[in-house]
């Protein structure tokens, strides 16, 4: 029995209809596909202008026939009570309601109509199917957070059962916990791993210390899919070595959809079926493929809530070789609020120097995890978890490399901790800037 599909339909999500719509879109030739996308853009704007007073007020008197003139929405525009943002004929009882993680600093509650949410699952199942993974039959080893309140906890556990998955805690990353994980992998025919990048990386490091290959312990494993946090090449290589399976990179947003998924050519293929994705500059002008800018997304199917030219808060580059039908995300730089503003006025992508520091700080396997915080323009703190404290020589090397990459006159301090603080969902934010003004 297809329990996962049945549970979605039982909750009012028309999954079969969504799968049929997805097949219809994917069967179009290039010219028909382009016409389809342009029409869907017009339709969703027209729908919200006619049926959503919040969006009509947001648009004002702008000529919507010119796509470039349609204003860009941000998370802050949406920080109003959900009831004020819903389209006519929808209520909180008739839609899918959830909230963003708040990783951008601007959390809010959002809604999707049930067909739109079914389309999300149709896309996810389609992409997982590229690797022979089936939500109804493929057992998932899930590395995610879980609510700690009793109601939320048991709700997620029930969903895990219905979704054919077992959840491993991302709040305990000790060797003792990982030993228990190994026993579960030994006794369970897991087909794939799915979850937060940082937690799965720690499990791979544990296997490295033990010199174990996970697939020899759990031969049924065929893939690992990581999401929600940045995946670095070095970590991907580590996981593929000690898991013995391919590692697949996923990029999504709960309020929208699956945004990009690594295809069999090792490209990050953008979702062109249910989303329209643009790269804009700081003045909201569309940038040509190959140039870095803000990722702005239109949800083509969400009638309950407008996400039209929505700035997700990330920076990226679409490949020069992309087409409307097959767009490829060449680079995901990170969140716009992950930019370090330095005393001289220079800006640097936080994850970039996190990556440089990472190559030094983890080269001997002593440091398990670390994060960087910018407390002031001139002050950075590195918090880390390690077997033993960093040596003075290592600290001096890290400080020098940070200064070389950024600029002189910086203060770099270190704090060794027993564990790093994660968000309530279990995610780990690698770089945080507390500098809010330039």
- Work out the average pLDDT over 401-423: 87
Query: Rounded to the nearest 10 degrees, how much is the dihedral formed by the CA atoms of 154, 157, 163, 164?
Result: -150
| 367 pLDDT above the threshold of 60 | yes
Lowest mean pLDDT, pick from 15-24, 61-70, 206-215: 61-70
**Are 303 and 356 members of one domain?**
no
**Are 24 and 39 members of one domain?**
yes
**Are 240 and 129 members of one domain?**
yes
Q: State the CATH number of the domain containing residue 403.
A: 3.30.300.30
**Are 280 and 413 members of one domain?**
no
Q: Please tell me the pTM assigned to this model.
A: 0.82
Q: State the CATH number of the domain containing residue 34.
A: 3.40.50.12780
* Domain coverage including residue 76: 3-335
- Work out the average pLDDT over 156-166: 84
| 301 pLDDT above the threshold of 90 | yes
| 402 pLDDT above the threshold of 70 | yes
Contact between residue 418 and residue 384 where contact means Cβ atoms under 8 Å apart: no
- Work out the average pLDDT over 295-321: 95
**Are 84 and 178 members of one domain?**
yes
| 363 pLDDT above the threshold of 80 | no
**Are 324 and 350 members of one domain?**
no
Specify if 8 maps to a domain. yes
Specify if 320 maps to a domain. yes
pLDDT of residue 308: 97
- The total number of structural domains that make up the chain: 2
**Are 388 and 329 members of one domain?**
no
pLDDT of residue 172: 79
Q: Write the pLDDT tens digit of every residue in 263-274.
A: 999 999 999 999
Q: Which residue has the higher pLDDT, 100 or 53?
A: 53
The pLDDT confidence band at residue 429, using thresholds 50, 70 and 90, is confident
- Taking the C-alpha atoms of residue 131 and residue 246, their distance in angstroms, rounded to an integer, is 10
Lowest mean pLDDT, pick from 143-152, 291-300, 402-411: 143-152
**Which backbone phi and psi does 192 adopt, to 5 degrees?**
-155, 160
Q: Write the pLDDT tens digit of every residue in 32-48.
A: 999 999 999 999 999 99
**Structural domain ending residue among the three candidates 317, 335, 353:** 335
**Structural domain ending residue among the three candidates 335, 350, 368:** 335
Contact between residue 388 and residue 366 where contact means Cβ atoms under 8 Å apart: yes
**Are 299 and 363 members of one domain?**
no
- Taking the C-alpha atoms of residue 66 and residue 70, their distance in angstroms, rounded to an integer, is 7
Based on C-alpha coordinates, what's the Rg of the chain? 22
**Are 175 and 306 members of one domain?**
yes
**Are 294 and 376 members of one domain?**
no
Burial class (CB within 10 angstroms; exposed 0-12, middle 13-18, buried 19+) of 248: buried
**Are 330 and 350 members of one domain?**
no
- Taking the C-alpha atoms of residue 192 and residue 205, their distance in angstroms, rounded to an integer, is 18
Lowest mean pLDDT, pick from 100-104, 299-303, 321-325: 100-104
Specify if 438 maps to a domain. no
**Are 320 and 350 members of one domain?**
no
């Amino acid at each position: 029995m297809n329990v996962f599909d049945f549970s979605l339909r039982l909750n009012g999500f028309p999954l079969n209809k969504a799968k049929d719509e997805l097949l219809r879109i994917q069967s179009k030739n290039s010219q028909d596909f382009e016409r389809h996308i342009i029409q869907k853009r017009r339709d969703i704007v027209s729908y919200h202008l006619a049926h959503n007073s919040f969006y009509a007020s947001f648009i004002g008197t702008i000529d919507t026939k010119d796509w470039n003139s349609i204003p860009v929405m941000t998370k802050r525009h949406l920080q109003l009570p959900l009831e004020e943002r819903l389209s006519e004929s929808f209520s909180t009882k008739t839609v899918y309601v959830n909230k963003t993680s708040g990783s951008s600093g601007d959390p809010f509650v959002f809604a999707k109509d049930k067909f739109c949410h079914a389309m999300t699952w149709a896309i996810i199942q389609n992409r997982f199917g590229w690797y022979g993974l089936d939500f109804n039959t493929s057992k998932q080893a899930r590395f995610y957070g879980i609510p700690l309140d009793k109601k939320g906890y048991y709700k997620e556990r029930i969903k895990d059962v219905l979704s054919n998955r077992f959840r491993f805690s991302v709040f305990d990353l000790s060797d003792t916990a990982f030993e228990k994980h190994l026993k579960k992998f030994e006794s369970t025919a897991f087909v794939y791993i799915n979850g937060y990048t940082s937690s799965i990386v720690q499990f791979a490091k544990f296997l490295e210390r033990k010199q174990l290959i996970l697939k020899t312990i759990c031969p049924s494993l065929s893939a690992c899919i990581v999401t929600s946090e940045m995946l670095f090449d070095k970590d991907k290589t580590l996981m593929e070595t000690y898991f013995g399976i391919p590692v697949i990179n996923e990029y999504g947003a709960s309020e929208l959809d699956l945004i990009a998924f690594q295809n069999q050519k090792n490209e990050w293929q953008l979702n062109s079926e249910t989303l329209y994705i643009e790269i804009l500059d700081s003045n909201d002008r569309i940038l040509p493929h190959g140039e870095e800018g803000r990722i702005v997304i239109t949800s083509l199917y969400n009638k309950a809530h407008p996400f039209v030219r929505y700035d997700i808060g990330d920076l990226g580059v679409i490949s020069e070789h992309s087409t409307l039908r097959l767009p490829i995300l060449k680079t995901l730089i990170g969140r716009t609020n992950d930019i370090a503003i330095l005393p001289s006025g220079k800006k640097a992508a936080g994850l970039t120097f996190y990556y440089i520091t990472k190559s030094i700080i983890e080269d001997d396997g002593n440091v398990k995890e670390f994060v960087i915080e910018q407390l002031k323009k001139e002050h950075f703190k590195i918090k880390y978890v390690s077997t033993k404290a960093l040596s003075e020589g290592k600290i001096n090397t890290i400080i020098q490399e940070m200064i070389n990459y950024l600029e002189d006159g910086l203060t770099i301090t270190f704090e060794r901790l027993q564990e790093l603080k994660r968000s309530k969902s279990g995610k780990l934010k690698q770089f945080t800037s507390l500098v809010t003004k330039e």
